[in-house]
Amino acid sequence: MPEPVVARVFCLPYAGGSSLAYRGWSDLGPGLEVVAVDYPGRLMRPAEPLLDSVPALVAALTEELSPSWDLPFVLCGTSLGSLVAFELARAAEQAGRPPEAVVLCACAAPGRPPRNPPVTDLTDTGFLDAVADRYGGALAALSGDPEAQAVVLPMLRADLRAFERYTAQPVQHPPIAADVVAFSGQQDHSTGFGEIAGWRAFTTGDFQIRSVPGGHFFIEQRPPEVIGEIRARLRDHRTVETS
């Protein structure tokens, strides 16, 4: 008989990514359900239109996910997914179902001058070169694969447009009440430790920052550090026993 679900972790992917970014997270412990999210227009949702703003993504995902906020939960996001996770936390608090914690990875706090210039209006070649140079990882291989470009480019442009529009806006909302844990990759050349530490101003709850080995995609390269933090947060609230 399967363990009853007593807590959930909602995982939000980076720009151009999908639920596959969290494919190794399926078994975090007894009673803990991992909900790896796909944004509209990709993987399991190919017929849905792409969304190119954080508010639109949050509105769509709130409608989809809010019925599952009936149990204690943690929101975890990477890069663009961190912005989405943060705004989902605000939506959950407004609905009277606050998360236990919000885990933000590889994302500068809002309201800071962007480190890098916008890229979404560049030509396909210029866009791919800029993104590969900034973030590295599997994105660097797209330049030599026209078929992959045809699939990934529209999603990547829409996501990075959402990211750029959000970070270009002045801060308009008060802090959330949930605890926030922010992770910084030590070899992440796109986002610095100080930029990530700025999330401290966006919560009235507990704030912690962690520096871990890895580049921008450390969530895939070295997930145990982040997984351990999530387990600890849920254990502290006595919602799940870790193995």
Q: Which residues participate in catalysis according to the annotation?
A: 79
CB < 8 Å & 24+ apart, contacts of 228-236: 229/103, 229/181, 229/183, 230/9, 230/28, 230/74, 230/76, 230/101, 230/103, 231/28, 231/29, 231/32, 233/74, 233/100, 233/101, 233/103, 233/179, 233/181, 234/7, 234/32, 234/72, 234/74, 234/100
Q: How many CA atoms lie within 13 A of 178 on its CB side?
A: 29
Please report, in angstroms and rounded to a whole number, the separation of the first and last CA atoms in the chain: 18
CB 96 within 8 A of CB 124: no
Strands 73-78 and 179-185: unpaired
